[in-house]
Homo-oligomer: A and B are copies of this chain.
């Protein structure tokens, strides 16, 4: 029944450990998932490779990509563009891979508007107490840093109910299993299997006629 891949957007609180989670998911199921690689106009840093961390492009080329509709979503931070090239995502999905985009809420909602079948996942610590601990840190941060983390977390929490599922990151191993189960379960949604349903119906009608 499973054929085309699902487009998945993963967001979450800073400090929710979603980076580690993604890495572990891809290590464990390399044939099932593909991580979307963003295009950016910022310069590569030491050790970064074109096509691995990012596709590094010029501002001119990036703006051409926007104009030609080659990006699923994009945003500008501090004078640099970041965006999701459509081609790589669609190619992976056609091959049956579930493609993961790690982006912020505004981008997430834009992707969902464009591709209503997108699965939105929000990674969160197991509870507010734990989130507090992670945000406050080990007592070595300045008040300014903590305040700005707090403010950011409050903003991040505003969009939580727009996501389809909450992925609770307490134990990494358990969390990877949960996330995999949720995504693979989604493949069984009847709304994602209209063709299968139609096929069974047609076959039954034909067979009934043959009696």
Point out residues on A near B: beta carbons under 8 Å: 1, 122, 124, 126-129, 131-132, 135, 143, 146-147, 150-151, 153-154, 157-158, 160-168, 178, 181-182, 184-186, 188-191, 193-194, 196-197, 199-205, 207-208, 211
Contacts and interface: CB of A to CB of B under 8 A. Distances in A.
A127 B200 contact: yes
Given A157-B197, A201-B154, A185 B190 contact: no
Contact of A184 (B143, B181, B208): B181
Number of copies: 2
Contacts of A129: 203
Most chain B beta carbons < 10 A, residue from A126, A147, A181: A181
A76 B136 CA distance: 62
Q: Which 8 A-B pairs have the closest CB atoms?
A: A128-B203, A181-B181, A185-B185, A182-B185, A150-B208, A165-B188, A128-B200, A157-B201
